């Protein structure tokens, strides 16, 4: 629940940032948009996506209690978002680091930006945008249920603990001195294996 709340609040924080530009705000812009109406539309679309991202952690909470395909679908969604956001952060942050000293040239479409300050853009992306993507991805990776691998849990919960044999002396003696019938029955239950024990 705590992880879901954190991811939702983090998404809403970035929603406000994009919403400001969608409403026509110009503070902190690294340049002048070529088409202000198009720029507002792009940010409005981002707001919709971010609202969905904010709602999703709570919307899928009941799915962690389900079994089979539903649980795996929720797990797949969380990990898809997690990998996508983390890769976005790592790749773009690397590009910005290389762009700052001039080792990499990043082209900006003239249809989007009429003019742009590349250094300001690099710093804004490196210090603000990409850290947001990184933390968003890590948040989805830490969502309830996504911490357990499907192969280990099967039905969407922690793998059951193995049963422990009784540690009493009488129980140990009775297990070792069982009849031949019980011994052959044990062999039939686990063909090709000797006597098993739990650590």
Q: Domain count for the chain, please give it.
A: 1
pLDDT digit string (tens) for 27-48?
A: 999 999 999 999 999 999 999 9
Structural domain boundaries, residue 74: 2-153
Residue 25 — pLDDT band, cuts 50, 70, 90? very high
Please choose, from the candidates 75, 93, 81, the residue with its C-alpha nearest in 3D space to the C-alpha of residue 53: 81
Q: CA-CA distance, 13 to 3, in Å (whole number)?
A: 15
DSSP type of residue 157? S
Per the domain annotation, does 131 fall within a domain? yes
Flag whether 26 is in a domain.
Answer: yes
Q: Output the pLDDT for position 38.
A: 96
What pLDDT is recorded for position 1?
Answer: 67
Q: How confident is the prediction for the chain on average, in pLDDT?
A: 79
Categorise residue 25: left if φ over 0, alpha if ψ from -120 to 50, beta otherwise. Answer: beta
182 domain residue, yes or no: no
- Asked whether residue 63 is assigned to any structural domain, the reply reads yes
| Residue 58 falls inside a structural domain | yes
Q: Let me know: does 133 contact 49? Beta carbons within 8 Å.
A: no
Q: Domain for residue 191, yes or no? A: no
Are 18 and 47 spatial neighbours (Cβ–Cβ below 8 Å)? yes
Q: pLDDT tens digits for 108-155?
A: 999 999 999 999 999 999 999 999 999 999 999 887 665 544 443 333
- Residue 25 belongs to some domain of the structure: yes
**Is residue 11, in this structure, part of any structural domain at all?**
yes
Q: How far apart are CA 43 and CA 11, in angstroms?
A: 14
């Amino acid at each position: 629940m705590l992880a879901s709340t954190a991811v939702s609040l983090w998404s809403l924080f970035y929603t406000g940032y994009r919403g400001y530009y969608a409403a026509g705000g110009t503070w902190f812009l690294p340049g002048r948009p070529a088409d202000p109406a198009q720029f507002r539309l792009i940010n409005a679309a981002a707001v919709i996506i971010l609202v969905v991202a904010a709602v999703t952690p709570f919307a899928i909470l009941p799915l962690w209690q389900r079994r089979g395909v539903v649980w795996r679908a929720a797990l797949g969604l969380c990990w898809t978002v997690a990998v996508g956001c983390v890769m976005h952060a790592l790749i773009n942050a690397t590009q910005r680091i290389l762009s700052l000293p001039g080792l990499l040239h990043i082209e900006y479409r003239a249809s989007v930006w009429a003019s742009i300050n590349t250094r300001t853009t690099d710093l804004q992306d490196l210090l603000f945008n990409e850290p947001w993507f990184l933390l968003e991805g890590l948040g989805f990776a830490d969502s309830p249920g996504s911490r357990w691998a499907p192969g280990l849990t099967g039905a969407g919960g922690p793998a059951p603990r193995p049963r422990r044999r009784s540690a009493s002396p009488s129980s140990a003696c009775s297990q070792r001195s069982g009849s031949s019938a019980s011994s052959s029955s044990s062999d039939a239950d686990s063909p090709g294996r000797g006597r098993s024990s739990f650590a």
